[in-house]
Amino acid sequence: MAASAKRLAIFAGLLSLALICAGCSASANNTFFGATNPPRENVLRYVSGSEPESIDPQIPATQND
């Protein structure tokens, strides 16, 4: 029984090590980042308005609230 538990622990350790190494390795095919050129017509405009008076959701900040 102890040998079986020892094998299971070794297997779990090796599997964990393999998953950590696979998660930390860099991808070989990295063609997306830095290679995209958006069309000129696509423009994002973001208007946030004024800063809220309170971040408490219980206190209304505008007339509509």
Q: pLDDT of 8-46, one tens digit each? A: 999 999 999 998 988 887 665 656 666 667 667 777 777
The DSSP call for residue 34 is T
Are the CB atoms for 59 and 50 separated by under 8 Å?
A: no
Between 1 and 45, the more confident residue is: 45
Per-residue pLDDT of 44-58, as tens digits, reads: 777 666 766 777 878
Between 14 and 1, the more confident residue is: 14
Per-residue pLDDT, 31: 60
| Measured distance CA(7)–CA(14) in Å, rounded | 11
Helix, strand, coil percentages (3-state) for the chain, rounded to 5, are 35, 0, 65
Per-residue pLDDT, 41: 79
Note the helical H segments in the chain: 2-24
